Amino acid sequence: MSKYITSIPLGDIERIQIYINRSVKTLAEIKAETGADYLINGGLYQGSQAVCHLRADGQTYAKDPYTYWGYAWGTGPDITLRSVPAAERRNYICCVCLLRGGKAEMLIYNRDVGGSRPRTAIGLKDGELCLYCTDSGRTPMELQAELLALGWESAVMLDGGGSSQCDLVGKRIVSNRKVHNLILVYTRKRAPSEPSDNDKEDKPMSTKYTVCLDPGHGPDTVNGSPDGSYKEREFAWDMYTRIRPLLERHGVNVICTRTEDTKPSLTARCEVSNRAGADLFVSLHSNAEGVSGWGTTRGLLVYTSSGPMTAKRNVAATAIVNRAHEAGVLLHGSGVAHQIEYTVLAKTDAPAVLIEYGYHTTREDVDLLKNSSYRDRLAEATASGVCDFLGIAWMAESGGEGTDAPASDWAAEAWRKASDKGVLDGTRPTDPVTRQELALVLNRLNLI
């Protein structure tokens, strides 16, 4: 008899996928196809249909008249226990909730799920994703008691019996049953010399990542609102100036496709990213409805070249969309769409996304796009979504009194020089400096 229990720091997770087994493959075949690091069987099903609530990559496969506690997430590191269905999440799964808030939950399940049989469970504990699989018998109550003793904060029992199976980085429990759905976990691959998160004293410093920001258009571009009060080229450049310091504060190396007074070709923009070996390309725009005068279409939309949603470009797009939704930004449809004809999406080597922050042909969106506080909200949603994609823990700026205060008289000239020369980003002159920010300044001065 075998039992395997593992935990994975959420910061080490690149993606969690609910794999719908349409081709009725074995666990080994799915691992060979996907390259996932951890695989366990998923939720309940009857025949070829899932039961309870199940959504994978934005597509709903099963509904139930009632709500249940289950796990929901966008890309993976953001997984939480919550009431499902969760309309704003691209993935969710539920079965029998065992633990919630570190306490035993009242067990509610059908008779055919009870008894002593092999079991599979998923949970969370201290910022880690926990996976459990055994081919020996456990009742739901025994499984609940075991996971509670292990200190799991939350847990959901998945399908069991002959469905229980796993491959946890080579530790396998094999079943002849080819289940309807599975949970797959992909971890971030580190270079051999790179320390783990536990070895890094100053999270989330991560200068190994390069992001290419592309402020759309440039001088002489006429795109804008029908009343002339808003210009897309000005908005795109302003968003770049807001997003860049947020990413740099998290240790990301940021490059730009143009200067404020230039308008390179689309191909040239791609070449900037390709030469730098960027990890992500982000193009900044606002949208147009294609009508004369004012329109009615609204919302943020992120374009990528094509599917599938498991591709890195779509994982990045989803991370940004999730952050925007959490910030209260109106989405257009699901928030993600595909357009292979966009040059900057098709000709970049890095995963590429093009963000349309709203429609400059709609009065309501224009009023928002012209608002400085709203732009700050968009910039933070973008930067935090990028950090989620890169696996960098997001740290919101402190709201202390020093954030908006000007530099003191005795430091004003030095502050101006440091800002003008790009040594500092010109924000938060009276705030304390973290060690990771000091390292970034030293790097800019070529002192390390």
What pLDDT is attached to residue 425?
Answer: 66
Closest Cα to residue 120, out of 68, 80, 175, 201?
175
For the chain, first and last CA: distance in Å? 54
Pairing of strands 117-125, 96-100: unpaired
Please report, in tens digits, the pLDDT of each residue of the chain (448 residues total): 688 999 999 989 999 999 999 999 999 999 999 999 999 999 998 877 888 899 999 999 999 888 999 999 999 999 999 999 988 899 999 999 999 999 999 998 888 889 999 999 999 998 899 999 999 899 999 999 999 988 999 999 999 999 999 999 888 999 999 999 999 999 987 544 444 444 333 334 444 799 999 999 988 888 999 999 999 999 999 999 999 999 998 989 999 999 888 899 999 999 999 999 999 999 999 999 887 899 999 999 999 999 888 889 999 999 999 999 989 999 999 999 998 889 999 999 999 999 999 999 999 999 999 999 999 999 999 999 999 999 888 887 654 444 446 677 777 778 777 776 667 766 777 777 777 777 777 776 767 7
Q: What is the DSSP string of 132-196?
A: EEEEEEE-HHHHHHHHHHTT-SEEEE---GGG--EEETTEEE--S---SEEEEEEEPPPPTTPPP
What pLDDT is attached to residue 201?
Answer: 36
Residue 226, preceding bond cis, omega within 30 degrees? no
Is this prediction's pTM over 0.85? no
Half-sphere exposure of 414 (CA within 13 A, CB side): 5
Tokens of 363: 């009065």
Domain ranges of the chain: 3-187, 201-390, 409-444
CB 221 within 8 A of CB 233: yes
Tokens of 149: 């003793």
Q: CB count, 10 Å around CB of 126? A: 11
Longest dimension (CA), the chain: 76
Q: What is the DSSP string of 389-447?
A: HHTPPP-PPP--TTSSPPPPGGGHHHHHHHHHTTSS-S--TTSPPPHHHHHHHHHHTT-
Pairing of strands 45-46, 49-50: antiparallel
Q: CB count, 10 Å around CB of 363? A: 15
Distance CA 234, CA 369 (A): 11
Q: Is 355 helix (H, G, I), strand (E, B) or coil?
A: strand
State the burial class of residue 441 (Cβ atoms within 10 Å of its Cβ: 0-12, 13-18, 19+): middle
What pLDDT is attached to residue 47?
Answer: 78
CB 139 within 8 A of CB 96: no
What pLDDT is attached to residue 1?
Answer: 66
Q: CB count, 10 Å around CB of 317? A: 29
Q: What is the DSSP string of 9-77?
A: EGGGEEEEEEEE-TT---HHHHHHHH--SEEEE-S-EETTEE-S-EEETTEEEE--SS-EEEEEESSST
Pairing of strands 181-187, 3-9: unpaired
CB 244 within 8 A of CB 213: yes
Residue 140, preceding bond cis, omega within 30 degrees? no
What pLDDT is attached to residue 221?
Answer: 84
Distance CA 66, CA 81 (A): 16
What pLDDT is attached to residue 441?
Answer: 73
CA 58 to chain CA mean position, Å:
14
What pLDDT is attached to residue 196?
Answer: 43
Nearest 10 degrees: Cα torsion 8, 14, 15, 21: -90
What pLDDT is attached to residue 361?
Answer: 95
What pLDDT is attached to residue 446?
Answer: 67
Pairing of strands 171-173, 166-168: antiparallel
What pLDDT is attached to residue 193?
Answer: 43
Distances (CA, A) of 31 to 38, 56, 74, 174, 185: 9, 18, 22, 13, 11
Half-sphere exposure of 362 (CA within 13 A, CB side): 19
Distance CA 307, CA 318 (A): 12
Angle at which helices 232-249 and 372-390 cross, to 10°: 50
CATH superfamily ID and name for 201-390: Zn-dependent exopeptidases (3.40.630.40)
